Amino acid sequence: MLQAGTGKKHPKAEDRVKVHYTGWTTDGKMFDSSVQRGEPATFPLNGVIAGWTEGVQLMTIGEKRRFWIPEELAYKGRPGRPAGMLVFDVELLEIVEMPAAPAAPSDCAAPPKDAVVSATGLCSKVLKPGTGKTHPKATSNVTVHYTGWTTDGKMFDSSVTRGEPAEFPLNGVIPGWTEGVQLMVEGEKRRFWIPEKLAYAGQRGAPQGMLVFDVELLAIE
């Protein structure tokens, strides 16, 4: 510990944290620093190297601590990453309060009778009308908030719980999204039931079967 904290709460692995940090290799060469950039970093604690996930949970807000992270808890010899044991000075600035996870829809298992079905089998239902008049094209960049569930009601991804909208080219996502979001206007919220052939089509490591998404279109670039 380099500086005692002023808080009492410790972050959990699933929390997002805001920190200032600087990292060095054991020969004293700095390879990264939010301090040098002049902007703190915010990230989910379970989305970084294992030594950070473990170490930052020891801290309280306001605390500054130095970590010596062995390679097996750092980048494990990955090409293009700093090798060997790494040294970090980390100051915990904030444990970011995250929105609660949206509840699974009651109609996850199958689309309701009033859902609109397209020729491809994509089903959708407007949850909130939009305020815009323009529809995105397949080549548009869009900004959205979304949550995705499998048909048994298990959430697998959500920009809402991350507290940060997602931005992407509409032709760079699953076909059900490319087709479905083009039906929307800014400000609209819509629920989609996306058949597997328009979702991940059996891709390993991706959610399988029909998927359910609530999507709110925030902006068209």
Q: What is the average pLDDT across 77-88?
A: 92
190 and 134 in one domain? Answer: yes
Per residue in 87-116, pLDDT tens? 999 999 999 887 778 899 999 999 999 999
| Euclidean distance between CA atoms 94 and 74, whole angstroms | 23
120 and 190 in one domain? Answer: yes
Single residue among 65, 96, 127 that ends a domain in this structure: 96
127 and 40 in one domain? Answer: no
- CB of 193 closer than 8 Å to CB of 110: yes
Please provide the average confidence, as pLDDT, over all residues in the chain.
Answer: 94
Strands 123-128 and 116-117: antiparallel
Judge whether 7 lies within some domain.
no
Q: What is the CATH number of the domain that holds 159?
A: 3.10.50.40
Instruction: Give the global pTM.
Output: 0.64
Judge whether 124 lies within some domain.
yes
Q: What is the average pLDDT across 200-207?
A: 89
Provide the number of structural domains found in the chain.
2
82 and 142 in one domain? Answer: no
- CB of 162 closer than 8 Å to CB of 97: no
Per residue in 15-68, pLDDT tens? 889 999 999 999 999 999 999 999 999 988 888 999 999 999 999 999 999 999
187 and 135 in one domain? Answer: yes
47 is in which domain, residue-wise? 16-96
124 and 215 in one domain? Answer: yes
